[in-house]
A and B are shown apart, each in its own frame.
Chain A
């Protein structure tokens, strides 16, 4: 057994629901390492340190924390002619989303953050003429939570099977392909479609057209 993840198939989407993982990502440098760099390519500590302008020791400690919560994996090792042993790291998924339901079940700040985020999403619909009254807010929150959870669950089951091909695609093509594939998978899921219907009915019942 070694530290290199032997089945390092990259997921299209990973749902983050563990409060410890979320806390690890509250650090700006760690978030930058994962979301800006390692979701897009494999990189060594030295490359990351140069890219974000931090000392390599600092980056190595961040990588170690990210590995410990399963956000980053070591994919290969190279022994260089200068004696350095470069280890390449990559994110475990192409995209990460916060698991709203688990966050709501959590304690303290994370629960409040998740609830506020959902509420703000609904309040934001005002811009489109959708004003949900306080009396229906709990029902709206509940449907939206279930809908997002289902969407996340279906999307996170989609695996990138031809990783070599995936890696040569430009980012916009990766995003388009991912969106198309998610759409296909979602339209085949009855539970998702049922929730989508409920959500549509609720939103449309409060939709004011000009």
Chain B
């Protein structure tokens, strides 16, 4: 039964989406947990396979090495000897290859997010089925997003190196450059946050990129309220680690540091990520139809 048309996204929608995402994460936690576990195992296997394949050209250039993870040392060597343009190229190329498995995994979770909100049920197996069915598109969509988000930050780095040359960048300029990079990261990630739901919904990669930007532009409050909430929570959890690693500003006592890193990873991957995926999926379902109505849930008896 139709009640009324829904206008723009409002505070009620925001609160309802977060609350429902938390509730559905609780209800389907076993399925979600098993899905994350299953996808994680495949992702790690795929990651190792990519690293292994990557070692072949590296061993041809630098000679044979003992362990596959020595490849990262050689990438480090290549980076230290590279100029700014080459360094950005290496980071984008290696980053795309290494992040791809994780991005496919993230995309597959959006499949179960859509299932939960569209049908009210899901199973762990479904995540693996989405993973298999959308493997190529999710991988390509993930890589394109990575390049869109990280590419301009790389350009900023190249321009900085070109402008300052051998001079040491002063702290004010450095702070400004870091702020620009963070702002770009948050805005571009938000604008592209509908890409995976759109790919799951059957769109091609280029169409999903364009539609994500257009949908976000037309529904800024909806997309960014969800994106900023979860990215802020993520930053809050990771803040002490970032401060300690990048700014050499110790917040956590040394004996607790490893435990904090582990707890943060568990919190982010097993709690924050599923709630974020569900919230984004619901937001997508709502904003993708501007003529959405409110109604009672229909039951099978009504159609048979």
A161 to B243: give the CA distance in the assembly, Å.
64
Neighbouring A residues of B24 by C-beta, 8 Å: 83
A-chain residues with CB within 8 Å of residue B288 when the two chains form the complex: 2-4, 77
Q: Main SS of the interface on chain A?
A: mixed
Contact A51 B300 (CB under 8 A): yes
Q: Name the A residues within 8 Å of B133 (CB-CB).
A: 61
Residue from B20, B118, B214, B300 in contact with A60 in the complex, judged by beta carbons closer than 8 Å? B118
Q: How far is the CB of A42 from chain B (nearest CB, A)?
A: 9
Asked whether A79 is an interface residue with its Cβ less than 8 Å from the other chain, the reply is: yes
Q: In the complex, how many residue pairs between chain A and chain B have their CB atoms under 8 Å apart?
A: 126
B245 at the binding interface (Cβ < 8 Å): no
CB interface residues, B 195-232, toward A, < 8 Å:
198, 200-203, 211, 214-215
Q: A46-B119, A57-B119, A83-B20 are in contact. Are A77 and B202 (CB under 8 A)?
A: no
Residue-by-residue, is A86-123 near B (CB-CB < 8 Å gives 1, otherwise 0)? 11000000000000000000000000000000000000
Whole-angstrom CA separation of A76 from B126 in the bound complex: 25
A52-86 CB contact bits vs B (8 Å, 1 = yes)? Answer: 00011111110011011000001011111111111
| Selected contact of B120 from candidates A1, A3, A43, A56, CB within 8 Å | A56
When each residue 18-43 of chain A gets 1 if its CB lies under 8 Å from chain B and 0 otherwise, what string results? 00000000000000000000000101
Interface stretch, picked from B36-44, B51-59, B81-89, B290-298, is: B290-298
Assess the A85–B117 pair: CB atoms within 8 A.
yes
Let me know if A60 and B119 touch, CB within 8 A. yes
Please tell me the number of chain B residues within 8 Å of chain A, measured between CB atoms. 47
Say yes or no for A49: interface residue by CB 8 A criterion: yes
Kindly list chain A residues whose C-beta atoms are within 8 Å of the C-beta of B294.
Answer: 78-81
CB contacts (< 8 Å) of A77 on chain B: these are 285-286, 288-289, 291-293
Q: Which A residues are in CB contact (< 8 Å) with B304?
A: 51
Bound complex: CA A78 to CA B291 (Å): 9
Does A44 make an interface contact (CB < 8 A)? yes
Contacts of B292 in A (CB 8 A): 77-79, 85
Q: Is the CB of A84 within 8 A of B117?
A: yes
Residue of A nearest to B120 (CB): A84
Measured between alpha carbons, how far is A150 from B217 in the docked complex, in Å?
46
* B300 proximity list for chain A (CB < 8 A): 46-47, 50-51
Docked complex: B116-150 residues within 8 A CB-CB of A: 117-123, 126, 129-130, 133
Residue of A nearest to B6 (CB): A79
Q: Which of A57, A65, A85 contacts B122 (CB 8 A)?
A: A57
Q: Is the CB of B296 within 8 A of A81?
A: yes
- A37 nearest CB neighbor, chain B only: B303
Quick one: given A55-B123, A83-B24, are A76 and B118 in contact (CB under 8 Å)? no
**Interfacial chain A residues near B202, Cβ < 8 Å:** 3, 64-65, 67-68
Would you call A45 an interface residue if the criterion is a C-beta within 8 Å of the partner chain's C-beta atoms? yes
In the complex, are the beta carbons of A86 and B118 less than 8 A apart?
yes
Q: Which of B224-268 contact A (CB under 8 A)?
A: none
Chain A interfacial positions (CB closer than 8 Å to B):
1-4, 41, 43-47, 49-51, 55-61, 64-65, 67-68, 74, 76-87
18 new A-B contacts at CB < 8 Å, known A57-B126, A67-B202: A2-B215, A4-B291, A45-B119, A47-B300, A49-B119, A56-B115, A56-B118, A56-B121, A56-B122, A57-B111, A57-B129, A60-B115, A61-B133, A78-B293, A79-B293, A80-B296, A81-B296, A86-B118
Interface residues of B, Cβ cutoff 8 Å to A: 2, 6, 16, 20, 23-24, 111-112, 114-115, 117-123, 126, 129-130, 133, 198, 200-203, 211, 214-215, 282, 285-298, 300, 303-304
9 tightest A-B CB contacts, nearest first: A56-B119, A50-B300, A57-B126, A77-B289, A85-B285, A78-B295, A80-B297, A83-B20, A64-B202
